[in-house]
């Protein structure tokens, strides 16, 4: 292992010296274009090596703390689509950096670093791994290429690292800190501005009745309550159930002008005391962040506090095949969201609602069917 590290230290010192000793630089507009290409290549190289390192750390050891050198074969995550992501990353990084600095000698010399990476894999790594894992490695070589530039492979690697137990501890539904303080702004930033228009439309589609009493489960900053307010008028009432410190503060500040928007500092997971009080229970992008067991508790609470004939309105991800969804949805669900979100997408929510005493379902979908406003009536 030490001699392998020494090999790469020598190669990297070599390219560094070439860069430092030469002041032959790219000039003009090309300098900027190549710098952008360099940033892309360097980020790609860094992502490859980092994902590969983290995958090996987690999946290529007999015991979780059995040292630095992997002692177990893995074809998981990024290794399911490329045999040598780490070496591709190490080989490409100097090219990216040389392009960023526009150093012509270093750009040319970085070709040798890539060649060194290929040689290292063919002459050192592959024979060693083959001797160690024999037939299973040969079979793996037949199926998986040594290198690929596919971005889907990076996505696979990231997703595998994100996979965790489907427990409430791994959920992100309790939004706190920076994310909570700037929640509304961040929602619009990550969705490139479509979120505020979309939520307005979805709330209009609930068809809230005048004077209605509405419970908003996981009410967040109060922005949804403000959007619902014009529909219910001054004789209706909106009660926001919220437990997040930063969210509660914003809810109170944002809704202080309205006497009939109230904050209930209560968890929707604890049995609620009210009975048959509300015409609507609204829950927006909250249910997917709970385990199946906790979702049932929330549905039972909604059932208890709704009047007969009242509507439980769930705005959340629809059921769809995440594998076949466009990249932007796969990225959102598998990388940004908590692992429970995909499990929610694969769940038949209507079946659970029916068991808990709801029926007469109606729904509207948005964003090419990936988001759904589901209305379930207490029967």
Binding site for ligand SAM (CB under 6 A): 173-175, 218-220, 224, 241-244, 247, 267-269, 284-286
The least distance separating ligand SAM from the CB of residue 193, rounded to whole angstroms, comes to: 15
- Give me the least distance between CB of 183 and ligand SAM, in Å please: 7
Q: Please, what is the minimum distance in Å from the beta carbon of residue 362 to ligand SAM?
A: 20
As a whole number of angstroms, the distance between CA 336 and CA 248 comes to 24
Q: In angstroms, give the least distance from the CB of 176 to ligand SAM.
A: 8
Q: Other CB atoms closer than 10 Å to residue 234's CB: what's the count?
A: 11
CA dihedral 110, 149, 41, 128 (to 10 degrees): -50
Is 71 or 174 the residue whose CB approaches ligand SAM more closely? 174
* Nearest distance in Å: CB 26, ligand SAM: 47
- Which neighbouring-strand residues pair with 226? none
At its nearest, how many Å lie between ligand SAM and the CB of residue 37?
Answer: 37
* Closer of 270 and 360 to ligand SAM (Cβ): 270
Q: How far apart are CA 327 and CA 333, in angstroms?
A: 10
Beta bridge partners of 214: 238, 280
CA distances from 101 to 47, 106, 237 (A): 20, 9, 61
Long-range CB contacts for residues 290-295, cutoff 8 Å, separation at least 24: 290/168, 290/171, 290/173, 290/340, 291/166, 291/167, 291/168, 291/171, 291/340, 292/343, 292/347, 294/168, 294/269, 295/344, 295/352
Nearer to ligand SAM, 85 or 220 (CB): 220
Return d(Cα 228, Cα 249) in angstroms, integer: 19
Note the Cα 128 to chain centre separation in Å.
37
Please, which residue, 265 or 276, has the CB nearer to ligand SAM? 265
Q: Which is nearer to ligand SAM, 126 or 343 (CB)?
A: 343
**Of the candidates 76, 88, 89, which has an alpha carbon nearest to the alpha carbon of residue 140?**
76
Residue 74 vs 267, nearer CB to ligand SAM: 267
Cβ pair 192, 213 in contact under 8 A: no
**Please, which residue, 129 or 284, has the CB nearer to ligand SAM?**
284
**Smallest separation, CB 174 to ligand SAM (Å):** 5
């Amino acid at each position: 292992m030490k001699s392998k590290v020494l090999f790469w230290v020598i190669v990297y010192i070599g390219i560094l010296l070439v860069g430092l000793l030469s002041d032959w630089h790219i000039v003009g507009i090309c300098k900027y274009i190549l710098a952008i290409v360099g940033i892309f290549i360097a980020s790609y190289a860094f992502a490859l090596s980092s994902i590969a390192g983290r995958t090996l750390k987690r999946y290529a050891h007999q015991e979780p703390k059995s040292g630095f050198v992997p002692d177990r074969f893995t074809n998981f995550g990024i290794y399911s689509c490329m045999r040598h992501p780490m070496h591709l990353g190490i080989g490409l990084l100097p090219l990216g950096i040389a392009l960023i600095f526009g150093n012509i000698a270093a750009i040319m010399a970085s070709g040798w670093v890539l060649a060194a990476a290929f040689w290292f894999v063919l002459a050192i790594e592959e024979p060693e791994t083959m001797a160690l894992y024999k037939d299973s490695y040969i079979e793996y070589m037949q199926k998986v290429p040594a290198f690929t530039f596919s971005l889907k492979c990076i996505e696979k690697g990231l997703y595998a690292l994100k996979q965790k137990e489907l427990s409430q501890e791994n959920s992100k539904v309790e939004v706190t800190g920076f994310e909570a303080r700037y929640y509304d702004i961040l929602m619009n930033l990550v969705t490139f501005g479509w979120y505020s228009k979309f939520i307005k439309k979805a709330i209009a589609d609930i068809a809230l009745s005048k004077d209605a009493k509405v419970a908003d489960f996981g009410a967040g900053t109060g922005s949804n309550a403000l959007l619902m307010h014009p529909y219910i008028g001054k004789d209706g009432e909106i009660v926001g159930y919220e437990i997040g410190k930063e969210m509660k503060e914003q809810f109170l500040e944002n809704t202080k002008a309205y006497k009939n928007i109230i904050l209930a500092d209560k968890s929707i997971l604890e049995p609620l005391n009210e009975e048959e009080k509300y015409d609507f229970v609204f829950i927006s992008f909250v249910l997917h962040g709970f385990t199946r067991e906790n979702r049932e508790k929330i549905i039972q609470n909604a059932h208890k506090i709704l009047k007969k004939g009242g509507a439980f309105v769930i705005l959340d991800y629809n059921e769809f095949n995440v594998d076949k969804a466009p990249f932007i949805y796969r990225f959102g669900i598998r990388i940004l969201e908590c692992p429970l979100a995909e499990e929610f997408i694969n769940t038949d929510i209507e079946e659970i609602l029916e068991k808990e005493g709801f029926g007469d379902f109606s729904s509207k979908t948005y964003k090419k069917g990936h988001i759904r406003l589901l209305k379930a009536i207490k029967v």
